[in-house]
Structure 1
Amino acid sequence: MSTLCVFDRIRCERPLSLVIRRCFSARASCVPSGNFVIIMDADLSHHVSTLPLKQKEGGYDLVSGTRYRGDGGVYGWDLRRKLISRGANFVTQVLLRPGASDLTGSFRLYKKEVLENLVEQCVSKGYAFQMEMIVRARQLGYTVGEVPISFVDRVYGESKLGGNEIVSFLKGLLTLFATT
């Protein structure tokens, strides 16, 4: 189910506005005006209020929601999905030592200029893109803060995670391991 279809289903339940940006490359390449950019799933699996508070508290260049530290957690996933996520994060910790606990999550706040620079530096696509953004941020000396989040699985739509995405992630991981 597309993001637009999900929006149509949930707008009856919640007061929402939709801004459509027409670009089809890496998700962060559609950078709006303003000082900060929040990237999150469109299905409302994240609570947006947590990231700006952490950024204000620490002045971070990037704040990432983490499901794997403090009071963070995942709710609504089956065992297979939990194992894939935990496994991907474990392997990235061993190979890349990124200094962040959740590289596969997509809930992040960036200073706009930091995001623009990182997008220029990153070459990965798909799920590996999220991982590369954190790794490159650390490599370039940006400050990265984490805030525990409770991730609740989507109510509408389906995850796009499948075999092709896992292979792409592993290729991206090995590329980062070889180049960082």
Structure 2
Amino acid sequence: MGSYTIDMPSIAASTAPSGADKYSVILPTYNERKNLPVIVWLLAKTFESNGIQWEIIVVDDASPDGTQEVAKQLAGIYGEDKVVLKPRAGKLGLGTAYVHGLNFVTGNFVIIMDADFSHHPKFIPEMIKLQKLHNLDIVTGTRYSSNPSPKSLSTSSPLIGLGPGGVYGWDLKRKLVSRGANYLADTILRPGVSDLTGSFRLYRKNVIQDIISKCTSKGYVFQMEIIVRSKNLNYLIGEIPITFVDRIYGESKLSGNEIIGYLKGVFDLWWNV
């Protein structure tokens, strides 16, 4: 395995006031060597320009492409307190990656998102704003709605820059699979959100810790189970529209087994939760 060098500008120290909320991003990675430097730069720029305290926990599942070496270089650029590498021995599932990452977060809010540019950090400040406006426990990004929910009641602090949600870069088959999956889950489970399979979310730390302790699924079903259990536990959930863009580098990790597992997961949740 060769070495990898990153030449990127450092970001100035956080200007957030002492005692302010801190946001911990958990980034599960597998073969994200090309994507990781740019997504970290975008996250750092977003947080610093908005005066937000932050850290990024990189949970890498033994990537053979040098992702961990890149993460170590990024820690050297931004600081070991800002980019924290917490690797695992292999691919153990998306849900367990979040469980692993939660062991190391120091913020009181947790953001989960993909490392492949499917989720743009520009939506994070609006997630934070909606959370504060309504004292929410969870804010989830939706690809299938054009309006934030619950709607802002504050005319002095409107949610800005939020266009209609959407998906870009998928072929018709992939879009139909996603839409069909959400329609099936909405019909059976009545989760109260428009995008049950999305994986761009903001949580109170204590809330995600509580929900995860009750979850049993792995893979992409994990995202669905979190929302279903959150509703049953009466946690407050809000949505903001986001644009989802198919990954730039690498291949999609969605497989036939994941689709079958999703269908099984829907009916398991309907029966057991």
TM-score > 0.5, shorter chain as reference? yes
Alignment of 1:151 with 2:244, yes or no, is yes
Equivalent residues of 2:118, 2:246 under 8 A apart? yes
Q: Which residue of 2 aligns with 1:3?
A: 32
Query: Aligned to 1:20, which of 63, 67, 85?
Result: 85
Alignment of 1:59 with 2:129, yes or no, is no
What do the CA deviations read for 1:109-131 (whole angstroms, capped 9, x no partner)? 00000010011011011111000
What do the CA deviations read for 1:50-80 (whole angstroms, capped 9, x no partner)? 3212212221100000000111111111111
Equivalent residues of 2:117, 2:246 under 8 A apart? no
Determine the C-alpha separation between the residues in 2 that align with 1:21 and 1:58. 33
Equivalent residues of 2:144, 2:241 under 8 A apart? yes
Determine the C-alpha separation between the residues in 2 that align with 1:175 and 1:14. 38
* Structure with the higher fraction of residues in helix conformation: 1
Larger radius of gyration: 2
Alignment of 1:34 with 2:107, yes or no, is yes
Q: Within 5 A, what are the aligned runs for 1:98-137?
A: 98-137=191-230
What do the CA deviations read for 1:16-51 (whole angstroms, capped 9, x no partner)? 644322245613211111110000001122223232
Let me know the Cα RMSD of the aligned residues. 2.1
Provide the TM-score with structure 2 as the length reference: 0.61
Where 2:235 maps in the other structure, the secondary structure is: coil
Deviating more after overlay: 64-73 vs 52-61? 52-61
Give the C-alpha shift of residue 153 in structure 1.
1.4
Equivalent residues of 1:39, 1:109 under 8 A apart? yes
The share of aligned pairs that are identical, in percent, is 51
- Structure with the bigger RCO (C-alpha within 8 Å, sep 6+) is 1
Determine the C-alpha separation between the residues in 1 that align with 2:251 and 2:133. 35
Alignment of 1:176 with 2:269, yes or no, is yes
AA in 2 matched with 1:28: Y
Equivalent residues of 2:35, 2:117 under 8 A apart? no
| Count of aligned pairs | 179
Gap runs ≥5 in structure 1: none
Deviating more after overlay: 66-75 vs 46-55? 46-55
Provide the TM-score with structure 1 as the length reference: 0.91
Gap runs ≥5 in structure 2: 1-29, 45-73, 75-82, 147-163
Deviating more after overlay: 162-171 vs 89-98? 162-171
Deviating more after overlay: 158-167 vs 42-51? 42-51
Equivalent residues of 1:28, 1:115 under 8 A apart? no
What do the CA deviations read for 1:76-128 (whole angstroms, capped 9, x no partner)? 11111101100100000010000011011100000000010011011011111
Give the C-alpha shift of residue 158 in structure 1.
1.4
Determine the C-alpha separation between the residues in 1 that align with 2:167 and 2:191. 21
Determine the C-alpha separation between the residues in 2 that align with 1:3 and 1:28. 17
